[in-house]
Amino acid sequence: MNDNQLLRYSRQIMLPQCDMAGQQKLLAARVLIVGAGGLGSPAAMYLAAGGVGQITIYDDDTVDLSNLQRQIAHHTDDVGADKVISTRNTLRQLNPDVQVTAVKQRLQGEQLDEEVKNADAVLDCSDNFATRFAINRACVTHKKPLVSGAAIRFEGQISVFATNHSDCPCYNCLYKNEGEEMQNCATNGVIAPITGIVGSIQALEAMKLIINTGETLAGRLLLIDGLTMNIKTMRFKKNPGCPTCGNL
């Protein structure tokens, strides 16, 4: 690290759980973020600010005026622009040392497998079941840790699926790959800060995974009720009959 980096990350380096070795791990890490919306925005911004060296973002959408209430990586002048480009510009302003790869497309198929294989941690910041299950399958296949978040109305939930450990459950252990499409913000609404809370926790969990410190949310689902500020965790185990990871 150079002198500017030592100063920029000094408040993290002074933490014994991080120190110089942990910061070096962050600088050398590559994180894949799927989705540049309400969750992807704060997650990407905190990861960039914290010094994650390489951030790859996939999203096939453009910025709409209705996004600005919660998708804080985008600004009024970005309306109509590609979300990944808007996010990349914001991250570069936050921390020009971070290498940001922005791809405007839905991440799927062979490209999904390749990106997951090359990542140290994967953040699912998407908003549909098909994408979530596809990301989970790729993470199980390549044994990469997955940090998943969701937010709607005043409610949020986050979990870590440490698929790099054979005894840890995957996303499919918790949610069945069937039934109705999940509810989304466009049809149910969402209060702005809940997306920031969830996305920030996703960034925190990813950084803990990278520097290998603390206890992550692996095997636990964090539930946040923003109306009552009731925050609790629910434990769950690997499903031996899981169609995605049950035979591993």
pLDDT value of residue 18: 95
Neighbours of 177 (CB within 10 A): 15
pLDDT value of residue 154: 96
The answer to whether position 245 is within a domain reads: no
pLDDT tens-digit readout, 185-233: 667 789 999 999 999 999 999 999 999 999 999 999 999 999 999 999 9
Contact 103, 56 (CB under 8 A): yes
Our count of domains for the chain comes to 1
Here the CATH number for the domain that contains residue 221 is 3.40.50.720
How far is it, in rounded angstroms, from Cα 221 to Cα 213?
19
Contact 37, 125 (CB under 8 A): yes
> 22-44 burial by CB neighbour count: b if 16+ within 10 A, else e?
bbbbbbebbbbbbbbbbbbbbbb
Look at residue 4 and tell me whether its pLDDT is greater than 70.
Answer: yes
- For the whole model, what pTM was predicted? 0.93
The one catalytic residue among 18, 185, 242, 245: 185
Classify burial at 101, counting beta carbons within 10 Å of its beta carbon; exposed 0-12, middle 13-18, buried 19 or more: middle
The answer to whether position 60 is within a domain reads: yes
The answer to whether position 242 is within a domain reads: no
Q: Is 185 a known active-site residue? A: yes
How far is it, in rounded angstroms, from Cα 135 to Cα 132?
5
The answer to whether position 246 is within a domain reads: no
pLDDT tens-digit readout, 104-144: 999 989 999 999 999 999 999 998 888 999 999 999 999 99
The answer to whether position 228 is within a domain reads: yes
Split at pLDDT 50, 70, 90, the class of 182 is: low
The answer to whether position 241 is within a domain reads: no
Percent pLDDT > 70 in the chain is 96
89's CB contacts (< 8 A; 6+ apart) are 78
| Start-to-end Cα distance in the chain | 40
The answer to whether position 240 is within a domain reads: no
19-28 and 192-211 helices, crossing angle to 10°: 110
The answer to whether position 29 is within a domain reads: yes
**Side chain identity at 205, as an amino acid letter?**
E
- The whole domain housing 231 covers 3-235
